[in-house]
Amino acid sequence: MTAWIDFARGPLFRLSLALMVLGLLRIFIITLLEVRDGYRANSDKIVSWKEIRRQTLGWLFPMFRLWRQRPIYSTVSFLFHIGLIVTPIFLASHILLWRQSVGISWAALPQVAANWLALLVIFTGAGLFLGRALYSPARKISHRQDYFWPLLLITPFVTGYIASNAVISPRTYQEMMLVHIYSGDLILLLIPFTKLAHCVLAPLSQLVTGVAWKFPPGAGDRVAETLGFADRPTWVLNPRLTTAPVEEAIRKGGVAK
Amino acid sequence: MASVMKSLTRPMTAEEREKAYSTPKKPDVMERQRLPVRYHVEDFNVEDRPRRFLEVFASVLQHHPNYRLALDHYMRVTTRCARCAVACPIYDATHDPHDIPCYRSELLLSIYRRHFTVSGALRARLLGDPGLADEKLQEMADSYYNCTACRRCHFECPMGIDHALVTHLGRYLLSEIGIVPRALVVSTREQLIGKTANTSAIPLPALIDTLEFLTEDIQDEKGVHVPFPIDQEGAEYIFFTSVSDFMMEAETLKGIAAVMKATGDSWTIGSKYYDGINYGLFYSDQVMEHVLHMMRAEAERLKVKKILIGECGHSARTAKFFYPTYCGGKNALPVISILEYTQRALKEGRIKLDPKVVTEAVTYHDPCNIARPGWIVNQPREVLKAFCSQYVEMAPNGRMNLCCGGGGGTVSIDEIRPFRTAVSGRLKAEQIRRTGATYCVAPCANCKKQLRELMEDQGVECEILGLHDLIYKAILLPPDSAEETAAAEAADGSTASPAEGSPS
For chain B, count helices (H), then strands (E).
Answer: 27, 8
B466-487 pLDDT, tens digit per residue, is 999 999 999 999 888 777 777 7
Mean pLDDT of B156-172: 95
Q: Of B47, B82, B165, which is closest to A135 when you measure between CB atoms?
A: B82
Q: What structural domains and CATH numbers belong to chain B?
A: 34-180 (1.10.1060), 197-351 (no CATH), 352-476 (3.40.50)
pLDDT at residue A252, as a whole number: 46
Residue of A141, A147, A229 best to disrupt the B interface, most CBs of B under 10 A: A141
- pLDDT above 80 (res A254): no
Q: Are residues A154 and A230 in the same domain?
A: no
Predicted ipTM of the assembly = 0.90
State residue B502's pLDDT score: 40
In a domain, A207, yes or no: yes
In a domain, A185, yes or no: yes
| pLDDT reading at B159 higher than 90 | yes
Quick one: pLDDT at residue A45? 82
Put simply, whether the predicted model's pTM sits higher than 0.90 gets the answer yes
3-state secondary structure B116-138: HCHHHHHHHHHHCCCCCCHHHHH
Q: Give the whole-angstrom CA distance, residue B332 versus residue B314.
A: 19
Residue B212 CA from chain centroid, whole number: 27
Instruction: Among A69, A149, A193, A246, pick the best mutation site for testing chain B contact (most B Cβ within 10 A).
Output: A69
Nearest partner of A153 among B51, B79, B306, judged by Cα: B79
Region B140-147: mean pLDDT is: 95
The model's confidence at residue B498, banded by pLDDT at 50, 70 and 90, is very low
Residue A216 is nearest to which of B66, B178, B290, comparing CB atoms?
A: B66
Instruction: Return mean pLDDT, chain B.
Output: 91
Same domain membership, residue A45 and residue A171: yes
How far is the alpha carbon of B323 from chain A, nearest alpha carbon, in Å?
A: 9
Instruction: Quote the pLDDT of residue A247.
Output: 47
Question: Given pLDDT bands bounded at 50, 70 and 90, which one contains residue A23?
Answer: very high
| Shared domain check, A248 and A170 | no
Instruction: Indicate the DSSP class of residue B225.
Output: -
CATH label of the domain that carries residue A88: 1.20.950
CB contact under 8 Å between A235 and B193, yes or no, is yes
Mean pLDDT of the B423-428 span: 93
Domain contains A195: yes
Give residue B195's pLDDT.
86
Give the end-to-end CA distance of chain A in Å, rounded to a whole number: 71
3-state SS, one letter per residue, for B50-82? HHHHHHHHHHHHHHCHHHHHHHHHHHHHCCCCC
Q: Does A151 fall in a domain?
A: yes
More reliable by pLDDT, B13 or A169: B13
A223 shares a domain with A181? no
A190–chain B nearest CA distance, Å:
13
Within 10 Å of residue A101's Cβ, how many Cβ atoms?
Answer: 12
Give the residue on B whose Cα is nearest the Cα of A48: B373
Residue type at position A15: L
Q: Which of A48, A215, A233 sits opposite B66 (nearest CB)?
A: A215
Residue A257 lies in a domain: no
Instruction: Assess if residue A225 is contained within a domain.
Output: yes
Put simply, the answer to whether B82 touches A137 (Cβ < 8 Å) is yes
User: What pLDDT does B5 receive?
Assistant: 57
Give yes or no for residue A244 having a pLDDT over 70.
no
**Whether A24 and A108 share a structural domain:** yes
Domain that holds residue A99: 2-212
Residues of A in contact with B372 (CB under 8 A): none
| Confidence label for B9 from pLDDT (cuts 50, 70 and 90) | low
- Residue B275 pLDDT > 70, yes or no? yes
Q: Do A46 and A75 lie in a common domain?
A: yes
Give the C-alpha distances (Å, rounded to integers) separating B68 from A37, B245, B285.
10, 38, 15
> pLDDT at position A66, please?
83
**Of B159, B188, B286, Cβ closest to residue A221:** B286
- Partners of residue B292 in chain A, C-beta under 8 Å: none
Looking at the 3D structure of chain A, how many domains does it have? Answer: 2
